[in-house]
Amino acid sequence: RATETFVGGTSANLTETVVVTVVPPPSASNAGTDQIICGLSTNLNASNPLSGTGQWSQVSGPATASFGNINVRNTNVSVSTSGTYVFRWTVSRNPCTPTFDDVSIIFSQPHTSANAGDDLTICDGEKAELYGSGGNSFSWQPALEIENNTSYHGTASPSVNATYTLTVSNGGTCV
């Protein structure tokens, strides 16, 4: 806002004012507690900003995450690949410097079920080829009777009728 003061028809003084507006800084960010999840989705739970607005973003992870609503503090997040992800809750209020906090979440994909394969009939002296599925790690029991007892493909040489049990895991918290 400029004002001019005239004295005797000529400009004597030129004055201008500026308005400075002071806003409170954004609230401190709290992204919530680190989690270990058996599954591929969870609810994030950040602090509710009293000053400014919050927004979620992905910092790291083996795949791209999908947020229910990046502007909601307690939104859902889903991933397509198990692993460790870091998410950031940023609280902004212009023209102030934003605040942020990170939360680490380990997603472990649950398996649908252990599959030890079809029942087999073999001749005495032959080997039984065992093929399992349903996880990332395998354990055949009784282990002493099976070659490669920690592989999806084990081999047994029973001399009498036998039953073998397969346990699978995807690692992490899901068994």
Cβ atoms 42, 105 nearer than 8 A: yes
What's the pLDDT score for residue 72?
97
Would you say 139 and 154 are in contact if contact means Cβ atoms under 8 Å apart?
no
Would you say the C-alpha torsion 65, 67, 73, 76 has a positive or negative sign?
negative
List all residues 6 or more positions away from 7 whose beta carbon is below 8 Å from its beta carbon: none
Give pLDDT tens digits for 66-101: 999 999 999 999 999 888 999 999 999 999 999 999
- pLDDT recorded at residue 175: 57
Distance CA 105, CA 84 (A): 6
Q: What's the pLDDT score for residue 7?
A: 63
- Dist CA 42 CA 108 (whole Å): 11
Residue 123 neighbours by CB under 8 Å, 6+ apart: none
In this structure, the number of other CB atoms found within 10 A of the CB of residue 46 comes to 23
For the chain, which ranges sit under pLDDT 70? 1-12, 110-112, 136, 170-175
pLDDT at residue 39 in the model: 86
Q: What is the dihedral of CA 130, 141, 144, 118, to 10 degrees?
A: -20
